[in-house]
Amino acid sequence: MDAMQPDDLDARLVQLLTDEPQLPVLECARRLGVARGTVTSRLARLHAHGVVSAIVPQVDPAGFGYDLVAFCFVDIIQNVGHGPVTEAILSAIPEVTDLYTVTGDHDLHLRVVARNGQDLQDVLDRISQLAGVARTSSSLALRTHIQGRTLPLLHAVADSTP
């Protein structure tokens, strides 16, 4: 997929839909001072280039009782491979909200949510018992300062557009 160079209008449109994802295209056009067709074509271009993958509400697990956040580091059994282990984690552990294959001391890095300490221990136990998992370690997040921070980058790129 080719990278695109978003401009200020793209950044303002994404900001608007991030702040209010249910906003209709016509209202976006009104607030941005452009034609409805401009908003529609900009959204199509942003989607086509992968800048915007979806416009959906952001779900916060804390809102339904999952306010404990931890990071779990997973070492896999190498001859099993990353694919089967990640598939097993994603199909068996709904408390995993993010999963990355990483370099360094571990093979996978997971963001996990839980209701409390005992619930977290149960989640970590379930992860460690999956086929292909050799070892896990974890750390608790004491406070979330920022998560999914992409809008400042989008605005910076748009501001640098000639």
- Supply the CATH number for residue 47's domain: 1.10.10.10
What was the pLDDT predicted at 147? 86
71 found inside a domain: yes
Instruction: State the pLDDT confidence band at 1, using cuts at 50, 70 and 90.
Output: low
What was the pLDDT predicted at 89? 97
Please write the tens of the pLDDT for every residue from 5-36. 899 999 999 999 988 989 999 999 999 999 99
Q: Does residue 82 share a domain with residue 68? A: yes
Other residues' Cβ atoms within 10 Å of the Cβ of residue 67? 14
Q: Does residue 131 share a domain with residue 105? A: yes
What was the pLDDT predicted at 93? 97
Nearest 5°: the CA angle 78, 85, 114 is 130
Judge if pTM exceeds 0.85. no
Q: Are strands 96-101 and 133-141 parallel, antiparallel or unpaired?
A: unpaired
No. of helices (H) and no. of strands (E), the chain? 6, 4
Range name among 37-41, 54-58, 90-94, 125-129 with the lowest pLDDT average: 54-58
What was the pLDDT predicted at 34? 96
Domain extent, residue 92, equals: 61-141
Q: Does residue 78 share a domain with residue 31? A: no
Q: Does residue 80 share a domain with residue 28? A: no
Q: Which residue in 11, 20, 120 sits closest to 72, CA to CA?
A: 120
Q: Does residue 87 share a domain with residue 32? A: no
How far is the C-alpha of 125 from the C-alpha of 158, rounded, in Å? 45
Q: Does residue 137 share a domain with residue 72? A: yes
Q: Mean pLDDT throughout 114-141?
A: 97
Four-residue CA torsion sign, 46, 50, 56, 62: negative
Q: Does residue 131 share a domain with residue 67? A: yes
Domain count, the chain: 2
Q: Does residue 135 share a domain with residue 65? A: yes
Instruction: State the pLDDT confidence band at 162, using cuts at 50, 70 and 90.
Output: low
Q: Does residue 50 share a domain with residue 82? A: no
114 found inside a domain: yes
Q: Mean pLDDT throughout 137-155?
A: 91
44 found inside a domain: yes
Q: Does residue 74 share a domain with residue 134? A: yes
- CATH of residue 65's domain is 3.30.70.920
Q: Does residue 98 share a domain with residue 35? A: no
Q: Mean pLDDT throughout 120-147?
A: 95
95 found inside a domain: yes
Q: Does residue 133 share a domain with residue 73? A: yes
